[in-house]
Structure 1
């Protein structure tokens, strides 16, 4: 394809800026992954060390100018860290939900045990009363096992080993039929448990303490329409808070400053014009400015009188149109195809010259030789050229 082309140029300066930007994003991803994972107690030192080693290996790609590998592997690493953190967060949330369920079941079991102990005139331990009231205790199972053991007289024939086994497994022992306390399942409370657990995974236990207290207060209310209304209200409040927290944690895409975009555009124009100059095209002072102002220029080659190469398009986008044009209407049109073919060789050489400098020039779209008639450049100052200038090639 040697006819009109749409090409994209990315200079070495721009490639370096892209890579540096990717590393900034990667370092932020690693910092978030590390801090969040450690706060949730879901991350080991060995895992952190492994991630930092991968970061160093990715950094080595930049020193070797392995830009293509870098631009593929760094986003892959960020995607992995994001997915891994979400997996760890879900695991943390599930653990927190299960802990909340165990604590609620423990509270019900503690209330059952207290009733049995009091009916027998046994002094109820303070830890058991605290558990029954919904307070946080260090080891729920140990507190329940203590109360369970107080209902098991030695005369029953249970050995110390058997009693210890009962403490570990929390199994039913003789004379305690009431131990089979049934938890009343409430889908609203289960949903709130998940919401609070997710917030705790994002913010920490201290920031969710007030929410736990609010839920405990609601749970002490009679099981009626008012309690359900309070639970619904809490679900709505938690959903709004979670939505806000997720939005705050979303990483916004970096926007390239206008000044930087213009610097990149200038570098692209310079790269193209310098390359054409090395290929023998006439490149004069002011052509870069004319390109920026007018949107296109024509570079002529003394060895091909009557013809030139038109470069057009906004360099700020990186996409440029290039095509062979005629600069005079008084020419042998039978040469047009030959000139387009010669430009094919020049274009390939231009790609090589730019590549040697670390720039990348790729064809995004191209037409074949002779597919469309050569455009007559504005240099002829004819009405025909003015009309053709308003059209881009199909």
Structure 2
């Protein structure tokens, strides 16, 4: 037996609302994953079917009231989708960066070969030299550059070329005997390797474009192209370092902006699930994204999380009040229409039971409080106090029944603190004032519930 109690009410309705919020976030993450993978050209029907199947399996857990398993699984799936699309994006970046580096290497090889050919300008076709020299400023494909290089090596191999190394002459000889592809690759391997800083810049420029910062990507690409056409190696080295720092800073800003924008998209889905004006929120998100300010996006996200927390907290408090009052009504307590609002507004409510004259139950705890205090109270100071222990004992029995009644509906009433029967005197409540408080609220709701 126990007297006054501090309890925490966990309702099924509250858990469902939290689950729906997580499900909305998962659905948005799945839509973003599909769109991003499609843009990368790295998604198949099998990939999509498997992802949808995993999503549906998780929703089945939610509908079966397996809330903990659902939440853990859904958050894990969201994390997987985000890491999967990032892995696919990195693979695409690496592929494009390698292509950029290969093309730049081809330009440099074409420049070197043109120089070697020009030394024999009287003997070698001038148009080929011009084509090789134009590679540096043109936009030929890697295949087209390789074809020009192969033609140049074949012509050069017919004569002694003093500016070529012995290895290059041997490769040219093998080329003439039909080992064209292998010889070309080997010939290119003998040329000056592309600067690692330049390769890093190719990757960063590609990544910036994929992150949506096209202006920074184009600017850096133009600066790099201009730099590589200059003839001063010392200036090139110094400016490569400077460009690399600039590119890394631009990437850091672009990554932060991209992550903040994606978080807002996920949050917008949760806000819509919670009943918050989705159209208005989406407009604010789009406006914030246009500003390209990470700080603005983060502030908006903080505001959105606050709105979501308030909405879920309000729903949970309403569900707790309804669950407790509905349970007390089933146990014969005089629960009246309007009591839920009274408890929310005043933070305190007294409920009588016809077979307990002179006593009642006080429920305390407003909307902002996740816990309730419940206790037996006396309705008059002029009473036989010897009956107080019996009143507390009867309430304790009813409380056990209330726990069982709530559990049937999927709710849980957890005792966090309880005092023994008789440990403190019964609080005396002015019942006339309490009833006046209840009766002043008359707005009905569906099934007799008060909003």
TM-score by shorter chain over 0.5: yes
Counterpart position of 1:132: 136
Distance 1:364 1:190 in 2: 64
The answer to whether the 8 A contact 2:348-2:365 is kept is yes
The answer to whether the 8 A contact 1:131-1:137 is kept is no
Distance 1:129 1:350 in 2: 89
TM-score when normalising by structure 2: 0.67
Counterpart position of 2:427: 376
Distance 2:420 2:41 in 1: 65
The SS at the match of 1:25 is helix
Counterpart position of 1:182: 193
Consecutive unaligned residues in structure 1, runs of 5 or more: 382-394
Distance 1:115 1:380 in 2: 105
Cα distance change on mapping 1:171 and 1:21 into 2, 3 Å: same
Counterpart position of 2:111: 111
Q: CA deviation at 1:56?
A: 2.6
Cα distance change on mapping 1:260 and 1:83 into 2, 3 Å: closer
Cα distance change on mapping 1:114 and 1:375 into 2, 3 Å: farther
Distance 1:53 1:98 in 2: 35
Q: Can you list the C-alpha shifts for 1:120-153, whole angstroms capped at 9, x where unaligned?
A: 3434377644543363514365554454444334
Matched, 1:247 2:260: yes
Cα distance change on mapping 1:120 and 1:15 into 2, 3 Å: same
Matched, 1:34 2:34: yes
Cα distance change on mapping 1:36 and 1:240 into 2, 3 Å: same
Q: CA deviation at 1:216?
A: 1.3
The answer to whether the 8 A contact 2:211-2:254 is kept is no
The SS at the match of 2:179 is helix
Matched, 1:347 2:399: yes
Q: Determine which structure has the larger helix proportion and give its number.
A: 2
Larger deviation, residues 144-153 vs 36-45: 144-153
Distance 2:428 2:152 in 1: 98
The SS at the match of 2:7 is strand
The answer to whether the 8 A contact 1:26-1:78 is kept is yes
Distance 2:386 2:129 in 1: 106
Q: CA deviation at 1:116?
A: 1.9
TM-score when normalising by structure 1: 0.76
Larger deviation, residues 24-33 vs 126-135: 126-135
The SS at the match of 1:115 is helix
Q: Can you list the C-alpha shifts for 1:204-238, whole angstroms capped at 9, x where unaligned?
A: 98994554233312333444266755665555455
Distance 1:157 1:106 in 2: 20
Distance 1:369 1:141 in 2: 90
Counterpart position of 1:165: 182
Distance 2:257 2:44 in 1: 29
Distance 1:180 1:259 in 2: 66
Counterpart position of 1:83: 83
Distance 1:364 1:109 in 2: 79
The answer to whether the 8 A contact 1:290-1:296 is kept is yes
Distance 2:20 2:337 in 1: 33
Larger deviation, residues 156-165 vs 244-253: 156-165
Q: CA deviation at 1:295?
A: 0.6
Cα distance change on mapping 1:301 and 1:288 into 2, 3 Å: same
Distance 2:377 2:47 in 1: 64
Distance 1:372 1:195 in 2: 71
Matched, 1:50 2:50: yes
Matched, 1:325 2:376: yes
Distance 2:151 2:321 in 1: 81
Counterpart position of 1:213: 222
The SS at the match of 1:79 is helix
